[in-house]
Amino acid sequence: MNHLMFYCRPGFEKDMAAEIQDKAVALECFGFSRVVDNSGFVLYECYGESDAEKLARRLPFRELIFARQMLVMFKQLSGLDLQDRITPIVEALEGMPEFGELRVETADTNEAKELSTFCRKFSVPLRQALRSAGKLSGEENDRRPVLHLFFLKNDTVWLGYSYPNNNSPYLMGIPRLRFPSDAPSRSTLKLEEAFYMFIPVEDDEYRLCSGLTAVDLGASPGGWTYQLVKRGMMVTAVDNGPMAEALMETGQVKHVMEDGFKYRPTKKNPYWLVCDMVEKPARITHLIAQWFRDGLCQEAIFNLKLPMKKRYAEVEHNLAVLKEWLTELEGDYVIQAKQLYHDREEITVHVYDERKLARRRSGAFN
Ligand SMILES: C[S@@+](CC[C@H](N)C(=O)[O-])C[C@H]1O[C@@H](n2cnc3c(N)ncnc32)[C@H](O)[C@@H]1O
């Protein structure tokens, strides 16, 4: 088999397929996608022998926008005996090297909810069996490939592997975040996930720390502001809508009732610009580009709300426009984009200047 498998948000399979088509061709790995609407995954069948393997190593997972996980699929087992699913799975691994980790997974769809309970339970005896058969190491943080079992039905499973240096570290590619009970909106999890996704933890002490300032455009009722306040920042929250009282009582928030497209900092520029305004992607892209052009912030995280159709094309267009603006500026700008688990019809984008960040990093450690 020469298939790559991608997990994605159900409903975004066509966008995932368009993206992989584009990026695999750029690496000269030609093939075609098999797409089932709302299945939560896409299969990319490569024409060239070992191209799936090549892509799994060379296509940077971090740069994929719609993928939650990327793996090489090597076996499909169906019609499993429900009394003993373990034996054929162990047999299917004949000739394969030892894996570093096991993940028993399923699609992130309503239909598969029951299956995911089964997967959780099944992983315990299977892990034991694989260890006894010498197919799974017992060590923590093993850097060998991760074995994925993707259950389609209770008697049908696909086997694949991913590389720990080029995959999502989470089961089903989904980070499990707990909703903080005192946060004013569920949107708070979007910014929290974005911080996990884009900011290495070791950078938190100088990129997500107290003493920094932030502007939050489209802030009401305050889910994103909450994340910034929690990290000790002073926040200017721009929105005509109300902000949660508890946030205002922290003394860390200044509420400005103004149009987010017109607002600009008057005294000191903030470190962070975050923006969750519901608007056309082109307008948001233009606004963010202006902030960087005018040197008004150091880092930005913002959402692009996507249209109903041709969402990958829309994303690529806007990211290209932004890139063009940033190339004109002095600096070494990085743009990262991802459809996060907590995103719905949107993606999250992160922009920063690598040169400025390097200076900040060396300042922080000298
Ligand atoms: C998705 S909500 C933001 C939720 C917020 N991030 C949170 O976590 O609670 C979008 C917000 O953008 C605001 N908004 C839309 N257009 C705006 C504009 N032109 N200027 C300021 N705020 C705007 C709306 O009032 C709304 O409160």
Which tens digit of pLDDT belongs to each residue from 76-127?
999 999 999 999 999 999 999 999 999 999 999 998 988 999 999 999 999 9
Cβ-based neighbour number of residue 224 at 10 Å = 28
Ligand 1 centroid to Cα of residue 255, in Å, is 13
Query: How many whole angstroms from 240 Cα to the centroid of ligand 1?
Result: 8
Q: Which residue has the higher pLDDT, 309 or 285?
A: 285
Q: Say whether 223 counts as a known binding-site residue.
A: yes
Both tokens of residue 358? 């390097």
187 marked ligand binding residue: yes
pLDDT at 205 over 70: yes
Q: Any binding-site annotation on 259?
A: yes
Copy the structure tokens of residue 62: 């971090």
Instruction: Please tell me the predicted confidence (pLDDT) of residue 107.
Output: 97
Look at 65-79, 187-201, 282-296, 304-318 and tell me which has the smallest mean pLDDT.
Answer: 304-318
Helix (H, G, I), strand (E, B) or coil at 180: coil
Q: What's the pLDDT at 138?
A: 79
pLDDT tens for residues 155-178? 999 999 999 999 999 999 999 999
**295-312: buried (b, 16+ CB within 10 Å) or exposed (e) per residue?**
eebbbbbbbbbbeeeebb
Ligand 1 atom closest to the Cα of residue 185 is: 9
Residue ID of nearest Cα to ligand 1 atom 26: 218
pLDDT higher than threshold 80 for residue 1 = no
On the question of pLDDT at 365 being above 70, the answer is no
Which domains does the chain carry?
Answer: 3-173 (3.30.2300.20), 188-361 (3.40.50.150)
**Cα 73 from Cα 297, distance rounded (Å):** 43
Which atom of ligand 1 is nearest the CA belonging to 221? 9
Around ligand 1, the residues with Cβ closer than 6 Å are 184-185, 187-188, 218-224, 238-241, 259-261, 276-278
pLDDT at 141 over 80: no
- What sign for the dihedral angle of Cα 16, 17, 22, 28? positive
What distance in angstroms lies between residue 269's CA and the mean position of ligand 1's atoms?
21
Which residues, other chains included, contact 245 with Cβ-Cβ below 8 Å and sequence gap of 6+?
none
Nearest residue (by CA) to ligand 1, atom 13, is 218
Per-residue pLDDT of 330-352, as tens digits, reads 999 999 999 999 999 999 999 99
The response to whether 239 counts as a known ligand-binding position is: yes
Cis status, amide bond into 221, omega within 30 of 0? yes
What's the gap in Å between 154 CA and the centre of ligand 1?
43
Residues marked active site are found at 305
The residue whose CA has the least distance to atom 10 of ligand 1 is: 277
Mean pLDDT of the chain: 96
Lowest mean pLDDT among 66-75, 206-215, 301-310, 326-335: 301-310
